[in-house]
């Protein structure tokens, strides 16, 4: 039996919590009973049935609170290695996008991914690689052109094999799962989690770019006006950056920590492979550097264009003395002219 599961993960403008999804049945492969407690909870927020060719497909929308939505759909196929699978996959992805937009998803940032699942066979799944390597690599890369042997070899190199009769191949846009018993559920969920984490990094990266641009504009504005007028705005932005940094570090490190709690189990090792393929470590470092840079920028702006409470008191006192001196001068002038009050 063959299946194609496609999903889209996107930022949403209308976050919903919905009904919490039931925990999946445990894998026969080694997996601790607390795996479902180590990943962000998903909440089902809607279903929709669409027709693609001869296939009636139920799409399921799930939310990762507070601002991410995921839509997935699965097609059962007799043979995913035949011609036309890429077209079918593209239509399934488009259906997921359309349903996600109905739920408030933005066009960008978003991630799409396809998982090809093969079950019901006997023997070593590496036999598929010998006979279908060109087709598998083409599906993973969404490429109809005949690929070079070195490109095929590179595409199929991110593999994870646990038992003699199973195999998982992970690429940037898709994955292949070979399992004779059809145990795909938690592996698909794990790939959804990796894509979710990638999307979160992209969302934060875009937000930081916007904040850096705002800091630049704030500096230009502060240079053109009385510098103490921007004190409140600068201080508020600085506090937001510090809060954002603390929240982001806590959020991402909590996810990494919980995954690591699983240790050397099957799903943890598979997740590690996915994070390497998606370059999550590089995204993490990039976001961390931008957070630190933004905090430094606002710190410098705050030091150069803000004033302390003590400085405000000193300025008020100086203004008061100036007004008092002007008053004495006016009185002296009036008295010298013989003008009485």
The 10s digit of each residue's pLDDT in 63-94 is 988 889 999 999 999 899 988 899 999 999 99
**Residues 213, 250, 63, 141: is their CA dihedral positive or negative?**
positive
The burial of 8, by beta-carbon neighbours within 10 Å (0-12 exposed, 13-18 middle, 19 or more buried), is given as buried
Q: Which pLDDT belongs to residue 256?
A: 63
Q: Work out the mean pLDDT of the chain and round it to a whole number.
A: 80
What's the whole-number mean pLDDT along residues 158-166? 90
pLDDT score recorded for residue 1 = 80
DSSP per-residue string spanning 32-52: -TTGGGGS---EEEEEEEEEE
Give 253-292 pLDDT, tens digit per residue: 666 665 555 545 778 788 889 989 999 889 888 888 887 8
pLDDT: which is higher, 324 or 236:
324
Structural domain spans, the chain = 2-181, 194-309, 310-341
pLDDT at 176: 96
Q: How far apart are CA 183 and CA 170, in angstroms?
A: 16
Q: Report the alpha-carbon distance of residue 219 to residue 140 in Å, rounded.
A: 47
Can you say how many angstroms the Cα of residue 308 is from the centroid of all Cα atoms in its chain?
Answer: 38
pLDDT exceeds cutoff 80 at 185: yes
Non-local CB neighbours of 185 within 8 Å, separated by 6+ positions: 24, 25
pLDDT of residue 149: 92
């Amino acid at each position: 039996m063959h299946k194609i599961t496609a999903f889209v993960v996107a930022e949403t403008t209308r976050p919903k919590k919905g009904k919490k999804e039931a925990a999946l049945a445990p894998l026969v492969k080694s997996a601790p009973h607390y795996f479902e407690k180590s990943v962000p909870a998903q909440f089902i927020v809607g279903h929709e049935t669409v027709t693609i060719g001869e296939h009636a497909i139920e799409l399921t929308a799930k939310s990762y609170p507070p601002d991410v939505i995921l839509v997935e759909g699965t097609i059962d196929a007799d043979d995913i290695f035949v011609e036309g699978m890429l077209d079918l996959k593209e239509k399934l992805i488009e259906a997921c996008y359309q349903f996600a937009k109905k739920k408030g998803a933005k066009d960008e940032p978003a991630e799409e991914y396809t998982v090809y699942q093969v079950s019901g066979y006997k023997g070593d799944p590496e036999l598929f690689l010998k006979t279908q390597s060109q087709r598998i690599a083409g599906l993973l890369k969404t490429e109809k052109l005949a690929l070079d042997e070195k490109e095929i070899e590179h595409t199929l190199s991110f593999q994870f094999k646990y038992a003699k009769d199973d195999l998982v191949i992970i690429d940037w846009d898709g994955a292949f799962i070979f399992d004779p018993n059809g145990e795909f559920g938690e592996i698909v969920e794990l790939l959804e989690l990796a894509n979710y984490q990638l999307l979160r990094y992209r969302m934060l990266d875009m937000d930081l770019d916007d904040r850096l641009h705002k800091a630049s504009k704030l500096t230009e504005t502060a240079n053109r006006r009385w510098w103490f007028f921007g004190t409140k705005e600068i201080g508020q932005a600085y506090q937001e950056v510090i809060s954002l940094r603390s929240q982001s570090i806590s959020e991402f490190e909590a996810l990494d920590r919980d995954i690591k709690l699983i240790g050397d189990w099957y799903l943890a090792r598979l997740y590690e492979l996915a994070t390497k393929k998606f370059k999550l470590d590089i995204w993490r470092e990039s976001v961390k550097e931008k957070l630190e840079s933004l905090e430094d920028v606002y710190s410098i702006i705050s030091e150069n264009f803000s004033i302390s409470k003590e400085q405000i008191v000193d300025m008020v006192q100086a203004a008061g003395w100036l007004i008092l001196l002007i008053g004495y001068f006016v009185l002296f002038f009036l008295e010298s002219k013989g003008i009485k009050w």
